[in-house]
Each structure stands twice: as structure tokens, then as C-alpha cells.
Structure 1
């Protein structure tokens, strides 16, 4: 546990609801492939979360999990560079969720923005369930069980990460306190050595009195270098640095990426519910058929009518897939009616087919070797359990749930 560096540990997950599509690839998975070589990454197939809205239709969940794992592997998420696992195969998530539910005010759950939004969006479903109300807390447990300091999410998920921070803060406040905290902190500082202890104290004062973020980061880095510190002393010094008690559960931060947002075939957000997706394993013929049917600038009723690319959903795809030369050709040809809409779409069809070909080739290899996929997920789940168990030992001790 003492070796955990929360600021280098990333947690992210996806609900298994079907095969993945280009929106997942450009919005999430390409970023994951980069992150796995820069951070210690845990990527979870969150099957319990799928049950919060699909509890009445679980027949396909096993296949969805398998398809998701294959898609992850096919795009380059590596089991040797990251930990891939199935949420329900790490029961420690459920235990931490239960323990956190004891301290989570009901009003905190009811005010999560997506709670009412999803209820309205999925009004045809009965979502007046404990599981649906509590899913933000389960999501917090997913993050906190790994003491992950970074969570790559889109702007629509910022509120969930903030909720996780609030839960961690409340837990630390309730259970991180010690009657002799100040005395233990001073003892820990003395163990740093005279020079290092003096530097830590100076950096802490600069941060707390002047709000100097650079001093805070330098002090954090200083503590991370101290290999001889016990876990308890490390937690105390991190907590003392930030003006709190022991940081049993680090507060996670959002990790934003600059990946392009992939629009749907109709220009709206790409979503299975909108029926506007290109699936990663769509055949070349399916890709061609879907792109050919994309709506275009409504002003171009006839072939000779000039158009405006800014009003055309196809142009949004050119911004992602086409180089400057092709974009200039589209702009000029569309505005002058020098090219037809199908002409405009042909370079896109070729680019998407080219992008998907190696992904589909790798996916086919994994489809033909289901035992390998099961083995990867089993090994990843065991690695995740090891990390989760370490956190639960600390949580149980802090809550007084140790009986040896």
C-alpha cells in the first residue's frame, strides 16, 4: 500500500451494453491507449452499473462483456500495460460501496444532476430503485477502492468525480482523525531527517499561507521520494500538508483529454439509442452504406445546388478524418456545386474503412480465441482484487472493523 502513488494511478470504466463504436474509439479508447503507457491504469467493465438501468434484461450481458473486452484489446488496450477487469469479479467494490453508504447523506445522491436527467430520459423504465439512486456511490467506490487520483472523463461526468471527492473528504474527516495526530505528525517529520523535515515544513507553510500550488506539488513529490516512511506516517504527512487529518482515501481529480468528439451520422451525439453509430466491427460494406445515407446540407436539393459545409453533418466528419487538402476540396466543391454529396462522402468512406481494418483484424483473432480473452480478464481481475484488498484493510481498520 505504501507504494501507491495516487497521482500516477488512473481508473476508468465502461458499461457493457453492446459492441463499441467510433464515438467510444475517438472519445475514450484512443486516450486510454496513450494513458496506459504514462500511468498505472485500471480499466473496468462495469457490469454492475449496467444492471442499474438494465436489471430487467440481463440475457445479453455476458456477450456484451466479452464483446467489450475484444474491442478494447483490438484497439490497443494492453493487458501487459494496464489492468483490465470485470467489476463484479472484484467483490471488494461492493463492500466499499456498502461501507460508504453508511456515511453518504441521501440528499447527496438525490442532487446528482444525472439522477433526474436519466429518470426523465428513460421514463419508460421503472428506475425508482435503490440501485439506480445509489449508482453514483458505487461509481465513487469504483474509484476510491484503487485510491486512484485521476479519472479520465468527459464534461458530463465531472459531477460524478466531484461527488467521489466529497465522499472521500467525508470519510477522511470521520475516520482519519487521531487524538494524538499533531504529536504523530511531528514524530513523522523528525523521521524525514533534519534537512528534509525542514523543507517539508517550509513548503507546507508556503502552501497554506500563500496558496502556492507549486509548493504543494513540490511537497507531495518530496513525500513520495521517502521510501522509509510507514504507510501511516505517509498518510498523516499528506493530510497535514493539506490541512486535514490522514488521507485514507485520496480525493480523485478529473483527467481531461483533447480527443475529438465524434458526431453521429445525423450530426447529433453518437449514441446507440439514436441509431447513428458506426460500430468498430462494421464491415466495409456496412460502413459504405451508412456513410452514403448520411444527411447533408438541406439546401442541396439537386446536384447543381451549391451548399454550405458548415450546415452539413458530413463536414464534421471531414474535420476528424480528412487532411487540409481534402477539406479545401470539399469546401470549394460544395460551395460551387462542383462535387455532389456522394463525391464528398467517398474520401470519408475510404478513411474510415482504412482506420477500422487493423482493428477488425485483431478483433477477429480474439473472437477466434475466447479462452485467451477469459484468461486476460481473469488475470486482470485478480490483480485488481489485490489492490482493492489493500485499500479495504485500511478502511476496515479506520472504521473499527478489525477483530483480531
Structure 2
């Protein structure tokens, strides 16, 4: 649990739509473990945002809150250094979202390239849920509520950070003073891992991701279905490294960079079969996942403790967010009866 600190504030998190996978590990989780040493870090389990395209199955969200929390603890995110919060348990976030909605037009949201691409990917067209269209505003509320100055995101999420800072500037300009803090994006060094079938993005539900809790058999099955080079029909054939998912994963997880470089040279000139290559990757991934799986099993033996950590952190997040909400309400001219504001 965080205490008062002068460290820069960072906000990050995930939607609890399923257990976390290797793409999360390289894209965010490893960075969170490192940044909790240098930042005042808050990790938000964004269950309300998960409902924006899963409202038909809220049980899915509820079930995965614990799963995601166990993954966080298993990879080494320390509750003594990081505050974990549940989005739905912080009412101030939702009121901030409602306030911010008055500073953003529908047209601006529809022009957000992140929103446009996600709407197209889900086939929403004009049937897009309002909550989904509005999730950049919800994310802006999350970021500003904690006073985050840094937010780790993929490049595809940069428009969300831009929109957040637009809202911050509008409110600060109206107030004539600095009420909310602008933030910057932190882009992970490792790009997004492809799905095991070679498609552009891992999916928690389609079987194209390797979960952090994967068993040795599950790792083996996933590696065997990995896309390599369709032109590499015989062991003696020269093969392509570029676009080869097995090499992408070796680059991300094999600690022996020299050995991987030699494998690439061997594959390009021919004489290295996919079976041997995949066998190495299986061993590499088992070495990565095995300690995570073991720690996760240990935490899963006492789920009440994991939920207690989340509940305690949510209380802390609620206090911090409420203070931001109060400042913002005053800045935009919204008062409560507690302010003894005389109506009329």
C-alpha cells in the first residue's frame, strides 16, 4: 500500500475480461514491477470499462476480478509498493466522468482513432454502446483522479492520452488556475506480441494467447500451433525470420540473445527445422511461466487475502479521487449542499 511520497504518480491497469497473458507481461506487467520502485503507482482493475462491451455478461467481469488480481501478485507487483483499486468501488471516478463529458463533443470522440478502430473491430457501427464511445472520457477521469503524471500505454492508446490532456486544459482554462495535471505516455520498449496464430493481437477468449497460469501442456499446444514460415517446407529449406512468430517470442523471452541470433542465421540458410525451434521456445516459456504459475497457486490458496488487498487499496483510491472531484466541482462551478451554497 502506498504512503505519502514525493515520487511521480503513475496510473495503469487492465479490464478484467479474462486472465492475463504473455502479451500483458511484456507490454505492461514487467514495467509495473520496475516502476513501483521509482513511482507512486496505482493499478486500477477497470471493471466498469469492461462492461462497455460486456454488459450482456457481467458475471464474466465479476469472475475475472480475482483472476487478474492473482496475476498481478504472481508477477511481483507488491501491495507494499503499489496500490490496487477496483474502479467500480470509487464513486468519484464516475462523477468525474459525468463532469468531463460536458467538455467533450460526440464528434471529437468519434474522431478518436483508437475509438474508430475498436468500433470497427467489434462491428458496432452505429450500434456502439454509449459507454464504449465514452470510454476515453472515463479513462481521463481515472488518470486525473489520481493526479497521474505518467501513464504506460501502447502506441494505439496515445489518442486517449491526448484527449485526457485536452480535457485537463479546458478545465484549467475555465478555472483560471491549475486544477488538474496533464500526463505523458510511457511506451513500452517491447512492441505488442502477436497472437500464436500470427494474427495481430492476442485474444483472451479465442485461444490465441498464452496465459500466465498456463500449464506445460498448454504452453506446448500453443507453441505447436505458432505461425512460422509457410515456405519452410523441409528442414533443409532456407526460412524467413521476419514475421515468424516463434522468433518474435524468442526475441521477447529468451535471455540468450547470442544463441537466438545464431538460430536466426541457421534458419535463414536452411538446416534448422521448426520442430527443434519450437522445442527451444517451449523450454524458454516454461522457464518464464513456471515461477509465476507457482506464486499464483500460492496466492490462489488464500483468495480472501488478495481481495482484502484490493479492498484496502480501493479505500485509499476513493479518498484520493474524492479530493480531486471536490477541486474539479469547484473549478467548473458545481456546488453541493455541504458547501452551504444558497440557491436562488
Q: Using structure 2 for the length normalisation, give the TM-score.
A: 0.90
Q: Does 1:339 align with 2:272?
A: yes
2:195 matched residue in structure 1: 264
Q: Does 1:383 align with 2:316?
A: yes
Using a 3 Å threshold, how does the CA distance of structure 1 residues 288 and 116 change in structure 2: closer, same or farther?
A: same
1:305 matched residue in structure 2: 237
Whole-angstrom CA distance in 2 between matches of 1:305 and 1:255:
41
Using a 3 Å threshold, how does the CA distance of structure 1 residues 94 and 124 change in structure 2: closer, same or farther?
A: closer
How many aligned positions are there? 332
1:117 matched residue in structure 2: 117
> How do 1:354-365 and structure 2 match up within 5 A?
354-365=287-298
Using a 3 Å threshold, how does the CA distance of structure 1 residues 308 and 55 change in structure 2: closer, same or farther?
A: same
Unaligned runs of 5+ in 2: none
> How do 1:4-403 and structure 2 match up within 5 A?
8-123=8-123, 127-174=127-174, 176-177=175-176, 246-272=177-203, 275-322=207-254, 323-398=256-331, 399-402=333-336, 403=339
Structure 1 position 353, deviation (Å): 0.1
Query: Is the CA contact (8 Å cut-off) linking 2:210 and 2:219 kept in structure 1?
Result: yes
Whole-angstrom CA distance in 2 between matches of 1:41 and 1:74:
17
3-state SS in 2 of match to 1:12? strand
Whole-angstrom CA distance in 1 between matches of 2:50 and 2:244:
34
Structure 1 position 248, deviation (Å): 0.3
Whole-angstrom CA distance in 2 between matches of 1:143 and 1:156:
17
Query: Is the CA contact (8 Å cut-off) linking 1:145 and 1:391 kept in structure 2?
Result: yes
Structure 1 position 60, deviation (Å): 1.4
283-292 or 123-132: bigger deviation: 123-132
Query: Is the CA contact (8 Å cut-off) linking 1:332 and 1:338 kept in structure 2?
Result: no
3-state SS in 2 of match to 1:84? strand
Whole-angstrom CA distance in 2 between matches of 1:156 and 1:104:
20
Query: Is the CA contact (8 Å cut-off) linking 1:48 and 1:87 kept in structure 2?
Result: yes
3-state SS in 2 of match to 1:268? coil
Deviations 1:95-118 (A, max 9, x none): 111122233333222221122322
Using a 3 Å threshold, how does the CA distance of structure 1 residues 395 and 321 change in structure 2: closer, same or farther?
A: closer
Whole-angstrom CA distance in 2 between matches of 1:30 and 1:268:
23
260-269 or 287-296: bigger deviation: 260-269
Structure 1 position 94, deviation (Å): 0.5
Query: Is the CA contact (8 Å cut-off) linking 1:31 and 1:259 kept in structure 2?
Result: no
Structure 1 position 4, deviation (Å): 8.1
31-40 or 128-137: bigger deviation: 128-137
1:184 matched residue in structure 2: none
**RMSD after superposition:** 2.0
Q: Using structure 1 for the length normalisation, give the TM-score.
A: 0.77
Whole-angstrom CA distance in 2 between matches of 1:333 and 1:376:
49
Whole-angstrom CA distance in 2 between matches of 1:360 and 1:73:
11
3-state SS in 1 of match to 2:188? coil
Whole-angstrom CA distance in 2 between matches of 1:270 and 1:284:
23
3-state SS in 1 of match to 2:27? helix
